[in-house]
Structure 1
Amino acid sequence: MQPRSSVSRRAIILGAGAVAAWASSPARALLAQAGDGGTASADLDALIAKMTVEEKAGQVTLMAAAWAGGAANALNPTSPSKSSFQQQLADVRRGRVGGVFNGNGAEMARQMQLVATGKSRLKIPLIFAADVIHGFRTVFPMPLAEAGSFDPALAEQTARIAAVEATAAGIDWNFAPMVDIARDQRWGRGIEGAGEDVLLGRIMADARVRGFQGRSGLTADDAMAACAKHFAAYGAAEGGLDYNSVDVSERTLREIYFPSFQAALDAQAATVMASFNELSGVPATANHWLLTDILRRQWKFDGLVVSDYTGDFELIDHGFAADEREAAKLAFLAGVDMSMQSGFYIRHLPDLVKAGDVPVARLDEAVRRVLALKAKLGLFDDPFRRIDPKREKQRVRTPQHLEVARDAARRSIVLLKNEKDLLPLPRSGKRIALIGPFVQGQRELIGPWNVYGTDADAVDLLSGMRAVASDPQSIVAVDGSGIEKPIAGGIEAAVSAAHNADIVILAIGESQKMSGEAQSRTDITIPVAQMALAEAVAQTGKPIVVLLRHGRALALHGAVKEAPAILATWFLGSMSGMAIADILFGVASPSARLPCSFPYESGQEPLYYAHKNTGRPNPPGPRQDYKTHYREAPNAALYPFGHGLTYGEIVYTKLDMGTGRLTAGGELTVVASIRNSGRQAAIEVAQLYVQDITASITRPVRELKAFQRITLKPGETQQVRFTLKRDDLTFLGQDMQPTVEPGKFRLWVAPSAQAEGVSDMFVLA
């Protein structure tokens, strides 16, 4: 907690009158008595007792900042304008708003907090929230890409830096991390999560919550409350269509979609956001079973639940509520404490309480949660603790932050293919042609859903390559085509550049607008104009390195699929060009692994490695009649979950499981030997998979149970050691209770979910 004199030190900025008003306010007087930033329930109750019903409804109302920041206006479906800022200040003065989000930095927050703490009746501080998904001004790789690092320490580090920068701009509360499991790559919003796997999703959820909230308590001026979203099963939208219906079994919810939320809450995430989708016919925003029975009663979550943007309004379009009043009632009674952007709570809760349709006790409960969050964040002790225009300039885009961004980007790049060791490239002696719509210009770099970072501050591929190469003039750049449309003469210029080069770097893929929220795709392939470019360049016969720019797994075809080297470079953020150049020239070795499976064809989606066997599985080899298979594609991924190459040559050589017997109270030690027989140092991610061969509930063909990152020198062999316990083999039985059944299990230590690696059977006694 900051010393109480921190308010008085700001007197010059804030004005002595405002400070005096806050110091003598009812809220300050009541809550200053409570320990730990004013969280004692008795003091909160005393403050609530002084509030009118309208002021209570104001506290549970969250609105987009009228003076919006960065790209917020473009990202939000309906955007306020700066001209309405005075009206929003008037609402703050009247106690009709509890907080705002995606505002325009410390100065905006300062002006609003002065009104809240100096001119409103009870002088309750506002809370300032934002979407800080993968960095603030320093932009890191999109979360899906960063999950490919298989390194939770990196995810915590980048989230910590995001919090340090965002809190300097007055932000108290972050609408992240998204912890949805995404198994259909047509769904564009997978960019915000950790991919298809439950274990990786849990680990990354834990890391990002700890990074955003810090480890010193929420009162620290560089801590911001995390929000686990979207509860629940948003990633299971039918057909990969955003906002679409979800209809999955309770077993699937509990085994696949709930665990990452439970991990976030175990990490003490302060808030949870309800999802847009309906779940088995009941929209999540009004789903009492989900928000109260599961979240509150079973999991004992006592924090704040907020709707997503106009989520309660959308109950009407779902056909679940007849009008605004009913929508507000249904969402509120289901368990949504705070309404985002619709304004329904401030408009309708007072009348609902007056009519007896909403118990006042429920309103007080929601208000208490809002006030408790503000207290935990230290706002009742110092409402300006995160509002400091000077600090806002000092904390952002520091050299240290940019170096971490470069490292994170390097560690997010996946080497999918590298025939005849085409990579790494020599830093001199070769003429290199950079071809494609993503090779030059400060655009399409930071990725979807970034409110405060800009492409203008990011490094493009050409700049990065020339900065790292020994001979910058040996590198030429030609766009060749647009992202979705051809350029007049573009292919001819690209072919000419390729003919004059020794090596072609083909940078192709998706625009930022093709991934993210509301960007579902039926055909997850490279756009036609770029494929025409790729085919023409391939005809030159020059060796091609494909750099994919993308927000999802893609189905690769033609010259792109057949290129001798392919890298998944996603959207990497501020230091994109530098990081890609580091990997291409061998300054760093690729170490990332795929967090989502690349299909052969779009029609395979949803595609994920942890699928079930059917009763008619097609055995290895050619397709057989009346077995499970597609006519056009194998029952496999082109590049599976966990896949990723290095500049070394990795060989899994030996597996030792001792007796191969796991007893009820014992442990099974698994030791695998891994050798780097190549000439380059390498980082390998060894992955432990298990299959329960026979069970009372059918089990996936593989499940990831653990992984380890190891560094191998050329010629070096190392052992990786895993420990399996009985609890690692738990699943939900027919009675929906956790169970473990004795029997045979297959185990792999392998470099991907489809690789054999080293494998054997063990027995659970």
Structure 2
Amino acid sequence: MLRQPNVSRRSVLISSACLFAWQASGIPAAMAAARRPLSGRVKSLIAQMTIEEKAGQLTLMPTPWTSAAAAKINPEAALRNVENLTDDAQAGRLGGVFNGFGVEAHRKLQTAAMKGRLGIPMIFAGDVIHGYRTVFPVPLGEAASFDPDLAERTARAAAEEMAATGFDWVFAPMVDIGRDARWGRTVEGAGEDVLLSSDMARARTRGFQGRSLADDASVAACMKHFVAYGAAESGLDYNTADISERTLREVYLPPFQAAVDAGCATVMAAFEDIAGRPIHGGREFLTDILRGEMGFDGLVVGDYNGDVEIAARGLAADARDAARIAIMAGLDLSMASGIYRDHLPSLVQAGEVPMERVDEAVGRVLALKERLGLFEDPFRRMDLKRQKARMRTKPALSLAREAAQRSIVMLKNDGDLLPLPRKGKRIAIIGPFAEGPSNLHGPWTLFADNKEAVDLASAVRSAVSDASFISVVKGSEVTVPIDGGIDAAVAAARSADIVILAVGEREAMSGEAASRDLIVVPAPQQALAEAVAAVGKPMIVALRNGRALALEGAILNAPAILVTWFLGSEMGNAVADILFGATGPSGRLPVSFPISAGQVPYYYAHRRPGRPANARYITSRYDARFPFGHGLTYGEISYADLAMSSKQIPKDGSLRVTVTIKNEGKYAARELVQLYVQDVVASVTQPVRELKAYKHVDLPPKRSQQVTFDLAAADLAFLGVDLKPVVETGKFKLWVAPSAEAAGLAEEFEVS
């Protein structure tokens, strides 16, 4: 179990007792170990501030000057009086706002703040998860590229656009591990694997922050949600999580550590509790682990109302008690609830919260603003000409198309149905996602215009030699049938040579508060698929989805299946590029697609059972329908000649692994070569396989290439019985394979 705090969270303490508890708890020592020295400017400001002004700096609020999409996400913003917001900014009762829209709105609030007594600039944050005006694939889709460099480039492009409109801070990347496909926020992360998620966390942090936070094209990154939000029971947002400390440290902490090591400036607390300890009020998480162990020295911000909600969970008596618990736990900045502004002054006056703790939190807020260059120029990211010049540039749109192409995963291509010819074939595009401007960008795109995205039907018409050969029929809505829809779809299929079936989830079915109990294609679309498939024409399924799905019936049995996620601004063009062979598919699944919905949570790196033959369901096997790492190309790829530099290495040694990859097909291909390892006998049982390395190789037709991996013994470390990293001697199995469950090529070696 996690360490429990030594100080009761319910104690109402007088000043001297509170200070003693604060010092005895070990919090100051933990914080000192991860504390960025404050500048003279920041120290001077803190010395001049009243407790009310300090509480204001620790308050972050939504703004009513926002986009329609953002207002739906954060409806309380629309209820706040505009005059009060500007008055609060000028009076020092507000440290920043989030999800504002445009330079004018940001300048208005910043101007008010600079008229304040101390002239402390505000900070402007935004939920720009995968693009501002130029929208890139949802993070889970982009993770299918297995390309951290691509993720860094798209994050940089998003930062350039949002910074041009006055944003200083982005609430991304989400680095939660997602192993339960029911959880809607799986779409925001990089999937189920620790290595891939850590690589993406590092890359996206670098992309957002650039070389310097003071650059007018950089924004502070915010890794979220700390920690183990993806472990919420039943895949349900805001729910409790009950995991072992081993699982916390082996699975959920490493991506956060990767972001910390990349210099991530801020972190957001998770909504859930772990074993009865809400993260927003858990000192053991926000201080002992995050600062004391991981060395994080930045700012900790709460999630929307997450601090006051610890009262609803039963950890605090009321909002005032919640404010005390959260600030003492290590939550520096309160988002949306206003409980720090409302209650910190009285808590300090009563001696229930030491001023020292408040000053630390304020120091972190001001230090971040200083690093962002806001004291030198509060309006440095607010330039109307720059805002116009940086939006949807040709390089950004080209990058969006590249990222979308690289994110598409081909699950099946029986009989080499794909790629399609550009002429001579009548194609029927059928399904609720066949055409139209919606459900292209994906969830968490608050500032983009849907009309600017390219849909599937438009792109296919542009890709073929004669657009009159293309027919489009909806056939069904996403979750309800259309009167006569199936009949119209069947007629279109009979008149066509090839069918493209565009089915799946609408974007609102993924994201926050969008958990699904059954991860299947909705019944009306499944019925549409069965009817269209019965016509007997070759059918390609183009899935629209933000999570792993359990595919069934005609959708599963289609000869060709593409996972197209939500790909953003260039979605239609990218899918058409793959369909007609302008580029080949190269994406790989970052999450396992289970055989049935009842399997979830399912992930490839599970531990070995004692009775493998019986570790199955009565009705189906216990493995993936399409495993992590799976994805096909238009090439014919073979693996041969696996060799190792040695079959025995010391505990401080390394191993070189080589394999020959050949493309025996007629199309060029980009193959993702994956290296997995299993520790056969260890003091703690180990997963059946763990990804240790991966590399892309580009192969022209009829060409081969040798791929080399260097595997250090240190890469084989795990947390021992004492939860400390250890490399143990013994036998290891090694696979070089095209997926986590493919046989591939196997070898064994020993660590001696």
Matched ranges for 1:683-762 at <5 A: 683-762=670-749
Deviation at 1:475, TM superposition (A): 0.9
- Does residue 344 in structure 1 map to residue 339 in structure 2? yes
Counterparts of 1:151 and 1:250, CA distance in 2: 30
Q: What's the secondary structure of 1:258's corresponding residue?
A: helix
Counterparts of 1:742 and 1:398, CA distance in 2: 54
Deviation at 1:39, TM superposition (A): 7.9
Q: Which letter maps to 1:42? A: G
Equivalent in 110, 113, 116 of residue 113 of structure 1: 110
Could you tell me which residue of structure 2 aligns to residue 323 of structure 1? Answer: 318
Could you tell me which residue of structure 2 aligns to residue 377 of structure 1? Answer: 372
Could you tell me which residue of structure 2 aligns to residue 273 of structure 1? Answer: 268
Could you tell me which residue of structure 2 aligns to residue 169 of structure 1? Answer: 165
Counterparts of 1:162 and 1:104, CA distance in 2: 15
Q: Which letter maps to 2:703? A: E
Contact 1:414/1:569 (8 A) holds in 2? yes
Deviation at 1:79, TM superposition (A): 3.1
Equivalent in 151, 172, 188 of residue 155 of structure 1: 151
Deviation at 1:241, TM superposition (A): 1.0
Could you tell me which residue of structure 1 aligns to residue 134 of structure 2? Answer: 138
Q: Which letter maps to 1:301? A: F
Could you tell me which residue of structure 2 aligns to residue 183 of structure 1? Answer: 179
Classify 1:387/1:479 alpha carbon distance in 2 versus 1 (closer, same or farther; 3 Å).
Answer: same
Counterparts of 1:537 and 1:301, CA distance in 2: 55
Identity rate, percent: 58
Contact 1:70/1:453 (8 A) holds in 2? no
Q: Which letter maps to 2:73? A: L
Q: What's the secondary structure of 1:72's corresponding residue?
A: helix
Deviation at 1:40, TM superposition (A): 4.8
- Does residue 639 in structure 1 map to residue 637 in structure 2? no
Q: Which letter maps to 1:454? A: D
Deviation at 1:77, TM superposition (A): 5.0
Counterparts of 2:77 and 2:452, CA distance in 1: 25
Could you tell me which residue of structure 1 aligns to residue 233 of structure 2? Answer: 238
Deviation at 1:45, TM superposition (A): 1.1
Classify 1:39/1:455 alpha carbon distance in 2 versus 1 (closer, same or farther; 3 Å).
Answer: farther
- Does residue 194 in structure 1 map to residue 190 in structure 2? yes
Equivalent in 180, 203, 207 of residue 203 of structure 2: 207
Contact 1:69/1:105 (8 A) holds in 2? no
Matched ranges for 1:257-336 at <5 A: 257-336=252-331
Counterparts of 2:403 and 2:127, CA distance in 1: 20
Q: What's the secondary structure of 1:708's corresponding residue?
A: strand
Counterparts of 2:483 and 2:162, CA distance in 1: 43
Counterparts of 1:399 and 1:42, CA distance in 2: 44
4+ residue runs over 4 A deviation: none
Could you tell me which residue of structure 2 aligns to residue 34 of structure 1? Answer: none
Give the TM-score, by structure 2 length: 0.94
Counterparts of 1:741 and 1:516, CA distance in 2: 41
Deviation at 1:445, TM superposition (A): 0.6
Counterparts of 2:674 and 2:449, CA distance in 1: 36
CA offsets per residue over residues 627-680 of structure 1, 9 Å max, x none? 211112211100000000000011111200133112223211000111111111
Equivalent in 385, 393, 411 of residue 390 of structure 1: 385
Give the TM-score, by structure 1 length: 0.93
Q: What's the secondary structure of 2:461's corresponding residue?
A: helix
Equivalent in 433, 441, 464 of residue 436 of structure 2: 441
Contact 2:62/2:76 (8 A) holds in 1? no
Q: What's the secondary structure of 1:71's corresponding residue?
A: helix
Contact 2:64/2:71 (8 A) holds in 1? no
Deviation at 1:458, TM superposition (A): 0.5
Deviation at 1:399, TM superposition (A): 1.4
Deviation at 1:717, TM superposition (A): 1.1
Equivalent in 649, 653, 657 of residue 636 of structure 2: 649
Could you tell me which residue of structure 2 aligns to residue 13 of structure 1? Answer: none
Deviation at 1:302, TM superposition (A): 1.3
Contact 1:729/1:740 (8 A) holds in 2? yes
Contact 2:178/2:230 (8 A) holds in 1? yes
CA offsets per residue over residues 499-552 of structure 1, 9 Å max, x none? 010000000000111111111111100101001100000110000000000000
Contact 2:674/2:739 (8 A) holds in 1? yes
Q: Which letter maps to 1:632? A: T
CA offsets per residue over residues 227-257 of structure 1, 9 Å max, x none? 0000000000111111111111111111100
Deviation at 1:41, TM superposition (A): 2.5
Q: How many residue pairs are counted as aligned between the two chains?
A: 717
Could you tell me which residue of structure 2 aligns to residue 104 of structure 1? Answer: 101
Where does the alignment leave 5 or more consecutive residues of structure 2 unmatched?
1-35
Q: What's the secondary structure of 1:206's corresponding residue?
A: helix
Counterparts of 1:709 and 1:607, CA distance in 2: 26
Could you tell me which residue of structure 2 aligns to residue 24 of structure 1? Answer: none
Where does the alignment leave 5 or more consecutive residues of structure 1 unmatched?
1-37, 619-626
Q: What's the secondary structure of 1:566's corresponding residue?
A: strand
Counterparts of 1:39 and 1:239, CA distance in 2: 43
Matched ranges for 1:501-540 at <5 A: 501-540=496-535
CA offsets per residue over residues 537-576 of structure 1, 9 Å max, x none? 0110000000000000000000000000000000000111
Counterparts of 1:357 and 1:68, CA distance in 2: 37
Counterparts of 2:183 and 2:50, CA distance in 1: 44
Q: What's the secondary structure of 1:160's corresponding residue?
A: helix
Counterparts of 2:595 and 2:293, CA distance in 1: 41
Counterparts of 1:612 and 1:268, CA distance in 2: 33
Q: What's the secondary structure of 2:163's corresponding residue?
A: helix
Counterparts of 1:122 and 1:232, CA distance in 2: 36
Counterparts of 2:742 and 2:615, CA distance in 1: 21
Counterparts of 1:183 and 1:274, CA distance in 2: 19
Deviation at 1:70, TM superposition (A): 4.4
Q: Which letter maps to 1:592? A: G
Deviates more, 1:448-457 or 1:552-561: 448-457
Q: What's the secondary structure of 1:747's corresponding residue?
A: strand
Counterparts of 2:392 and 2:427, CA distance in 1: 31
Contact 1:433/1:504 (8 A) holds in 2? yes
Counterparts of 2:334 and 2:655, CA distance in 1: 49
- Does residue 412 in structure 1 map to residue 407 in structure 2? yes
Could you tell me which residue of structure 2 aligns to residue 25 of structure 1? Answer: none
Q: What's the secondary structure of 1:698's corresponding residue?
A: coil
Counterparts of 2:202 and 2:75, CA distance in 1: 30
Deviation at 1:94, TM superposition (A): 1.0
Q: Which letter maps to 1:241? A: L
Contact 1:218/1:377 (8 A) holds in 2? yes
Equivalent in 37, 58, 61 of residue 60 of structure 1: 58
